[in-house]
């Protein structure tokens, strides 16, 4: 047949143009938020929304080490001075809380001290109470601190200002050395920063981190080392790792597949022909995912690039089964029924991935399904005329003595029971443990998580796994609800259910509470009389407490302090994580300390429907369990549907049994290997096994297909071996990725597809029958 490859070249060119347009128009999303679920109840929805864009997501913890303590303290102070004036940061803390560092905040708190102080005794202006307060003032004036103490003591004899300051002391347990925070167990200076940008705003977070590094470099650190951690750091680092993984996978997968295909066919035109379904399947998969999810995540694209070895199975099967000079319909008549069954069952096997409810995993399943269906459609309806026009066929396609000898191994197929029974024994002795921690899906490196725990432990503020969420229509509603709950928490503390709580109302009382406290202040005449009685017999000059009377008189006419009134002060960052606004209203966070009896807390808060107690570990476990069950349910339905399709399509109980036994054996042994690894079975493993199931059905169906002759049998083995090599190698590349999630996918799929080939060959295959008149 005369070769005319122009049509093939044109098809490849058009496919490349389509792919280029799609890649240019659909950017990849690489932030972690795109891989997180929305949540299935109020608690999980709130939790993951705050993980995406909440205040906690913008926290950065800083460590400085590998230098003498004095040098570390100098660097810390220099960085604090530099970053405090940077608008990209709302909080820069590196030492003890000090009002001297913020004159505007000191003035606000001093002015509002009688409305803010939590201790009611500081507002007791009766003559006996003032007499005791004046006696303490006199003792202080007689001390060595008289010059510093005099003005403040006479204006605030009851100590309301100090009561406010004491209530605002930050709960940080780090060592204070050289005036800055140090880790308790090593020479490491510590800082706590919060960026003004949302934690998932990657560009802004990258700029903030660059500013931190620039401030560190400007301090001339010599041998010191800078450590950065926190959710914002994780987001940027994970995005960087994903981009690197995507680029690496794209190049290496392409090189591997091209190398394998050229080794098999020794023809650049074959590579060009196979490029058509690959480019089109990748383009269609990206468009479908974009339409379904609004964006294409980088992990889904990286997974799609490794699908090279699978989406190319169908054109490889077509070309690999064609004899030179054979017409476009002849090859399809032999393999199209099996190919259609393989595609249908593979897509049904991905049902659990697509409908698991996790956006990232659902993207992987949708990407895979769309790519496989497109590759199959192009193979069935476009490829035949292209390969016939270019007269493409395997360089070696006849019977093979080595392959014929390999066929004889099937006489020992009974020994396949040995690994299957061994895997069953392993599963009995070491049952597979289902992972209930959703962080198993996190793209954050384990070393980064360990550093974050270390820095938080050094600050003495580890992440609390429990919190109470209060919702209201306004900040006033939230603050009043928290004040209503104060007696409830006080009772729980007395019962020993918890040690204490931290909330926004502790920092800023509601306007109603401030009005109530203001109403307790006496008018000037009553206060003057009480002062006169209290200072009788004490060596104070008349009018010494005139400034005190003036401040109380001014406090009686103050408008209540609100969150807006604290904006721009050093107290706003402390209030922000505990009281904030979202699209659906205002939210307050109450942080219980040292929870002992979670059941008692939940029972005590049950009467208030707008109060939601959350145990983050319980929420994550419940969410993982929910999505795992959803995945298993849809997987079971998908497998059931695939089984019905096989029964209808094969209509041969012998072939059906061989296909099912081959796939089942591969899956059981794969489970046994996972159990031997000691790795908990996470959603990633479940969805990877679904992918393996689809590939295993593909292999088993082609091995079980009746053969025309020995040459056809040899073509099937060669072609499936080529497909398997591509799949195993491309997915094995994922083991080189920085992203843990991709590594687990790569390990599971590459191991599972290799087992699928071996068991498919041994259990599903049958000897060639020269008397067969057709193949299904």
Per-residue pLDDT, 98 = 45
* HSE toward the beta carbon, residue 681, CA cutoff 13 A: 21
Q: What span, in angstroms and rounded, lies between the C-alpha atoms of 749 and 692?
A: 6
Smallest CA-to-CA distance from 65 within 222, 230, 229 is with 222
Per-residue pLDDT, 770 = 44
Q: What span, in angstroms and rounded, lies between the C-alpha atoms of 645 and 664?
A: 17
Tokens of 85: 């004036």
Tokens of 274: 């196979």
More confident site: 737 or 503: 503
Tokens of 133: 């307060």
Residue with tokens 């476990």: 621
Length of the chain (residues): 776
Q: Mutual orientation of helices 69-83 and 202-218 as an angle, nearest 10°?
A: 130
Q: What span, in angstroms and rounded, lies between the C-alpha atoms of 249 and 304?
A: 10
What would the pLDDT profile of 655-711 be if each residue is shown by its tens digit? 899 999 999 999 999 999 988 888 778 877 887 888 888 888 888 988 888 776 777
In the chain, % of residues over pLDDT 90: 17
Tokens of 329: 């319909």
Q: Measured at the alpha carbon of residue 617, what is the angle toward residues 616 and 620, in degrees to the nearest 5? A: 85
Tokens of 537: 């017999």
Smallest CA-to-CA distance from 315 within 327, 333, 302, 331 is with 331
What would the pLDDT profile of 419-477 be if each residue is shown by its tens digit? 999 999 999 988 877 776 655 556 667 777 788 878 877 776 545 567 888 888 999 99
Q: What span, in angstroms and rounded, lies between the C-alpha atoms of 589 and 577?
A: 7
Q: Tell me the longest C-alpha to C-alpha distance in the chain.
A: 126
Q: What is the pTM of this model?
A: 0.69
What would the pLDDT profile of 578-625 be if each residue is shown by its tens digit? 888 877 788 888 878 777 888 898 899 989 888 888 876 677 677 777
Smallest CA-to-CA distance from 50 within 466, 438, 587, 611 is with 587
Q: What are phi and psi of 557, to 5 degrees?
A: -115, 10
Smallest CA-to-CA distance from 707 within 693, 694, 718, 691 is with 718
* Residue 547: C-alpha distances to residues 153, 392, 540, 641 (Å): 10, 100, 14, 85
Per-residue pLDDT, 33 = 57
Quickly state the pLDDT bin for 772 (edges 50, 70, 90): very low
What would the pLDDT profile of 542-565 be if each residue is shown by its tens digit? 888 888 999 999 999 999 988 888
What would the pLDDT profile of 160-173 be if each residue is shown by its tens digit? 988 888 777 655 56
Q: What are phi and psi of 121, to 5 degrees?
A: -65, -25
Which of 65-79, 313-327, 376-390, 403-417: highest mean pLDDT? 65-79
Number of C-beta neighbours around residue 419 at 10 A: 18
Per-residue pLDDT, 57 = 62
Q: Mutual orientation of helices 616-650 and 683-704 as an angle, nearest 10°?
A: 10
Quickly state the pLDDT bin for 45 (edges 50, 70, 90): low
Q: What are phi and psi of 703, to 5 degrees?
A: -70, -35
In the chain, % of residues over pLDDT 70: 84
What would the pLDDT profile of 271-289 be if each residue is shown by its tens digit? 888 888 888 988 999 999 9
Q: What span, in angstroms and rounded, lies between the C-alpha atoms of 479 and 381?
A: 66
Contact (CB, 8 A) for 279 and 14: no
More confident site: 357 or 518: 518
Smallest CA-to-CA distance from 98 within 179, 28, 34 is with 179
Tokens of 570: 């050093």
Q: What span, in angstroms and rounded, lies between the C-alpha atoms of 661 and 177?
A: 68
Q: What span, in angstroms and rounded, lies between the C-alpha atoms of 371 and 289?
A: 10
Contact (CB, 8 A) for 425 and 44: no
H-only helix segments in 322-465:
328-349, 351-354, 359-381, 383-389, 401-407, 417-429, 446-459
Per-residue pLDDT, 768 = 47
What would the pLDDT profile of 337-356 be if each residue is shown by its tens digit? 888 888 888 888 888 888 88
Tokens of 393: 């066929």
Tokens of 266: 């020794």
More confident site: 247 or 281: 281
User: Residues 306-315: what's their mean pLDDT?
Assistant: 71
Per-residue pLDDT, 383 = 85
* Residue 317: C-alpha distances to residues 249, 322, 344 (Å): 24, 9, 16
Per-residue pLDDT, 513 = 94
């Amino acid at each position: 047949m005369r070769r005319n490859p122009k049509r093939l070249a044109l098809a490849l060119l058009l496919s490349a143009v389509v792919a280029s347009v799609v890649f240019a128009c659909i950017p990849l999303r690489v932030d972690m938020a795109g891989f997180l679920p929305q949540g299935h109840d109020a608690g999980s929805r709130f939790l993951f929304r705050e993980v995406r864009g909440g205040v906690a997501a913008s926290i950065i913890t800083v460590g400085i080490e590998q230098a003498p303590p004095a040098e570390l303290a100098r660097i810390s102070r220099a960085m604090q001075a530099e970053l405090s004036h940077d608008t990209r940061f709302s909080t820069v803390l590196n030492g003890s809380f000090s009002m001297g560092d913020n004159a505007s905040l000191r003035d606000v708190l001093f002015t509002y001290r009688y409305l803010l102080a939590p201790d009611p005794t500081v507002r007791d202006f009766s003559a006996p109470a003032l007499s005791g307060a004046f006696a303490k003032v006199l003792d202080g004036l007689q001390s060595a601190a008289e010059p510093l103490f005099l003005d403040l003591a006479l204006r605030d004899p009851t100590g309301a200002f100090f009561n406010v300051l004491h209530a605002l002391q930050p709960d940080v347990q780090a060592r204070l050395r050289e005036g800055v925070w140090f880790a308790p167990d090593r020479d490491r200076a510590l800082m706590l920063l919060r960026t003004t940008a949302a934690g998932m705003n990657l560009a802004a977070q990258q700029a903030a981190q660059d500013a931190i590094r620039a401030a560190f470099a400007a301090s001339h650190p010599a041998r010191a080392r800078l450590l950065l951690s926190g959710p914002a750091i994780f987001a940027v680092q994970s995005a960087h790792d994903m981009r690197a993984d995507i680029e690496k996978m794209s190049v290496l997968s392409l090189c591997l597949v091209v190398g394998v295909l050229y080794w098999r066919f020794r023809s650049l035109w074959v590579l060009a022909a196979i490029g058509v379904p690959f480019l089109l399947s990748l383009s269609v998969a990206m468009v479908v995912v974009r339409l379904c999810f609004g964006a294409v995540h980088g992990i889904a694209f990286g997974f799609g690039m490794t699908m090279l070895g699978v989406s190319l199975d169908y054109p490889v099967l077509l070309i690999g089964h064609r004899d030179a000079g054979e017409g476009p319909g002849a090859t399809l008549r032999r393999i199209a029924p099996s190919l259609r069954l393989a595609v249908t069952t593979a897509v049904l096997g991905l049902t659990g991935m697509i409908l698991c409810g996790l956006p990232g995993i659902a993207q992987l399943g949708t990407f895979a399904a769309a790519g496989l269906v497109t590759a199959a459609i192009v193979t069935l309806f476009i490829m035949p005329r292209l390969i016939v026009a270019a007269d493409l066929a395997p360089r070696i396609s006849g019977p093979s003595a080595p392959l014929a000898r390999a066929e004889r191994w099937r006489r020992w197929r009974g020994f396949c029971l040995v690994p299957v029974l061994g895997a069953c024994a392993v599963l009995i002795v070491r049952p597979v443990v289902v992972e209930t921690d959703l962080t198993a899906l996190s793209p954050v490196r384990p070393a980064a998580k360990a550093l974050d725990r270390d820095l938080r432990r050094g600050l003495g503020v580890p992440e609390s796994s429990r919190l109470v969420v209060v919702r209201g229509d306004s900040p006033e509603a939230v603050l009043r609800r928290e004040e209503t709950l104060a007696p409830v928490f006080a009772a729980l503390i007395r019962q020993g259910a918890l040690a204490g709580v931290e909330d926004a109302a502790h920092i800023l009382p509601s306007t109603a509470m401030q009005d109530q406290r203001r109403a307790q202040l006496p008018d000037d005449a009553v206060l003057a009389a009480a002062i006169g009685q209290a200072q009788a017999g004490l060596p104070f000059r008349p009018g010494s407490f005139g400034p005190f009377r003036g401040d109380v008189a001014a406090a009686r006419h103050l408008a209540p302090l609100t969150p807006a009134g604290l904006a721009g002060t050093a107290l706003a960052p402390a209030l922000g994580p505990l009281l904030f606004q979202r699209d659906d209203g205002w939210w307050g966070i109450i942080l219980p300390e040292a929870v002992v009896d979670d059941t008692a807390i939940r029972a005590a808060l049950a009467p208030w429907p707008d109060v939601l107690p959350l145990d983050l570990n319980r929420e994550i476990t419940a969410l993982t369990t929910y999505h795992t069950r959803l995945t298993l349910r849809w997987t079971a339905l998908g497998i059931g549907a695939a089984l019905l399709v096989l029964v209808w399509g094969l209509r041969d109980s012998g072939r059906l049994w061989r296909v099912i036994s081959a796939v089942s054996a591969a899956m059981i042994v794969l489970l046994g290997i996972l159990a031997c690894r000691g790795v908990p079975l996470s959603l990633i493993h479940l969805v990877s096994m679904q992918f393996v199931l689809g590939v295993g059905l593909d292999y088993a169906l082609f091995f079980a297909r009746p053969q025309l002759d020995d040459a056809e049998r040899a073509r099937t083995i060669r072609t499936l071996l080529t497909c398997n090599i591509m799949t195993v190698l491309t997915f094995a590349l994922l083991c080189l990725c920085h992203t843990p999630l991709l590594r687990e996918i790569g390990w599971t799929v590459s191991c599972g597809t290799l087992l699928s080939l071996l068991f498919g060959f041994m259990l599903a295959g049958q000897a060639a029958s020269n008397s067969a008149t057709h193949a299904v």
